[in-house]
Structure 1
């Protein structure tokens, strides 16, 4: 496969996953902002959303304050923000058009239909209750695309490049969500383990579709250390760091078998996966949760670079 084709497939999945992640983050922020104790605070949950997205510098170059209107506009529709939901969908579709023959009919129709429906959503339409309908639409279209990928693509190199994009993007997003909760969301005057803290952790689980799954695994209620374990070390949780690292490793192993060669990205993927597979939550807190997550985000970015260097340049 041409590296250009592999690169397009990889980034189609990354951009569709990124659009879904932004929709999930905006949904949970909107829920948090409706909580009475938070509504009376300084609104730092909207600032936290910008931090989660990794776009803090770009946002404050253009806006003075992280109001709901500014954040929604910037993350959902801003044409100057390359990671806005609108630009993610448009870029994914553009990449899909460039490699139309490498996609299945179901994948292409999902991408193209999403792009055709996108202009029907604008800032006026998503005001009030329209925001939730828009975010649900984005999430549903992304899930439909990923479902078409899993259900219809041959298990060849094109499939594994697509899956790599999904898992790299998802791992980055999960780490950012947990990190921003631990360090930013809880107001200074609020009690750790109190009502606000409990509601925020529940919202984080809902942001990654993990609330019911968590309660089926643990019978002790919402405990911060168990939630961290669930979202970092439990492979059965599809959006956990451990599950993403396993998906990355397995996809790279298939590519190594297909191309008959291993690269630095294979060593790094194995190292990251081993650390998460055999890690313990006590060790994470002993190191410091923020330090652990920051290190993981950095390692994930380095792994993405090594994947690009080996296959996509």
Structure 2
């Protein structure tokens, strides 16, 4: 090993500082201390025989004061917003994939009308359920990790580790040889891991402006994807079993059984997944969340005419609030999906420009 010592000039002359910096080799060869040859480094500490006074610049307890978090840079807000969108996008795809594999396990063939319809819908999400899904799923998780990595100073360590666990689970997803029950179980486990990430964000993340942008991203993406799901599987031309599939993807099977005394029909499915103000999977619930969060963002309470973004959210929220299930047609759902996608552009224009 080699030891680098440090000296400091004082009024009484030069003094050697205790401890130093060591390079350590794996063999007696002097060249082995080089990092390129496998050497390592370590701090060298000299332990005192007696207690030492602690020198610190940290303020004393009696001088405590709570400081403000400061302004959130637009780039950080952008990354937190897209982190929310990417995580929700992954969850939606996993729920659709699990539904496909569960039905494949029941029927034993992918030629059923509902499986074909679901397969086409998944293709629009960028997934082919009969092909290996690990790479496509890992790619989408990596999008979320990329955004989180750019805001590590504003994001919890546990949240980052949860995303890393998701990436590992996505890469280990079963291949086509295990289609059906095995893949459905793996996807179910993956969903529970996503719920773990969501719980960390909800329970532990400080309610600052960055949290609001992350929440905005998730709410907007969920409203958008649910509009698309209902337009596809609550349509009059959808194959048999499509309404049950929509309720399953919306994680609302038990709620539907408790709230309605009839089997699934278009009115009950639209009421529960589009118009319900207490179902966190419903479009109306998400628009309420978007409206609440935007109202607390900087500039939303300024005097004068209502800015374009909150005004547009209010229009969508109010327009959906006055509809009955039979009035919300497939065409209306598709227009709602386009409208929620348009909100993303307004958010970017208002806060990320």
Shorter-chain TM-score tier: 0.7 to 0.9
Post-superposition CA distance 1:221-257 (Å, at most 9, x none):
3222111111111111111110111111111111146
Whether contact under 8 Å (1:33, 1:43) holds in the other structure is no
Following superposition, the deviation at residue 128 of structure 1 comes to 4.4
Counterpart in the other structure of 2:165: 113
> Is 1:266–2:310 an aligned residue pair?
yes
Distance 2:238 2:340 in 1: 26
Counterpart in the other structure of 2:39: none
Correspondence for 1:161 among 208, 213, 217 = 213
Give the unaligned 5+ runs of structure 1: 60-65, 79-83, 188-196
Correspondence for 1:77 among 131, 134, 140 = 134
Whether contact under 8 Å (2:284, 2:321) holds in the other structure is yes
Counterpart in the other structure of 2:247: 205
Distance 1:31 1:44 in 2: 12
> Is 1:32–2:32 an aligned residue pair?
no
| Range with greater deviation from structure 2 (1-10 or 271-280) | 271-280
Whether contact under 8 Å (1:231, 1:237) holds in the other structure is yes
What SS does structure 2 have at the residue aligned with 1:69? coil
Counterpart in the other structure of 1:278: 322
Distance 1:256 1:205 in 2: 37
Closer, same or farther in 2 for the Cα pair 1:172/1:227, shift >3 Å?
same
Whether contact under 8 Å (1:245, 1:269) holds in the other structure is yes
> Is 1:102–2:154 an aligned residue pair?
yes
Counterpart in the other structure of 1:176: 228
Higher strand residue share:
2
Following superposition, the deviation at residue 120 of structure 1 comes to 2.9
Whether contact under 8 Å (2:99, 2:249) holds in the other structure is yes
Whether contact under 8 Å (1:32, 1:200) holds in the other structure is no
Give the structure-1-normalised TM-score: 0.80
Closer, same or farther in 2 for the Cα pair 1:279/1:124, shift >3 Å?
closer
Higher relative contact order (CA 8 A, sep 6+): 1
Closer, same or farther in 2 for the Cα pair 1:118/1:263, shift >3 Å?
same
Distance 1:227 1:203 in 2: 10
Whether contact under 8 Å (2:277, 2:284) holds in the other structure is yes
Give the structure-2-normalised TM-score: 0.72
Whether contact under 8 Å (1:6, 1:158) holds in the other structure is yes
Distance 1:9 1:259 in 2: 22
Structure with greater Cα Rg: 2
| Greater than 6 Å deviation, 4+ residue runs | none
Give the unaligned 5+ runs of structure 2: 1-71
> Is 1:217–2:259 an aligned residue pair?
yes
Correspondence for 2:342 among 289, 302, 306 = 302
Higher helix residue share:
1
Counterpart in the other structure of 2:115: 45
Post-superposition CA distance 1:159-193 (Å, at most 9, x none):
10010110111111111111111348744xxxxxx
| Range with greater deviation from structure 2 (294-303 or 221-230) | 221-230
Following superposition, the deviation at residue 48 of structure 1 comes to 3.1
Following superposition, the deviation at residue 220 of structure 1 comes to 2.7
Distance 2:82 2:237 in 1: 31
Closer, same or farther in 2 for the Cα pair 1:12/1:50, shift >3 Å?
farther
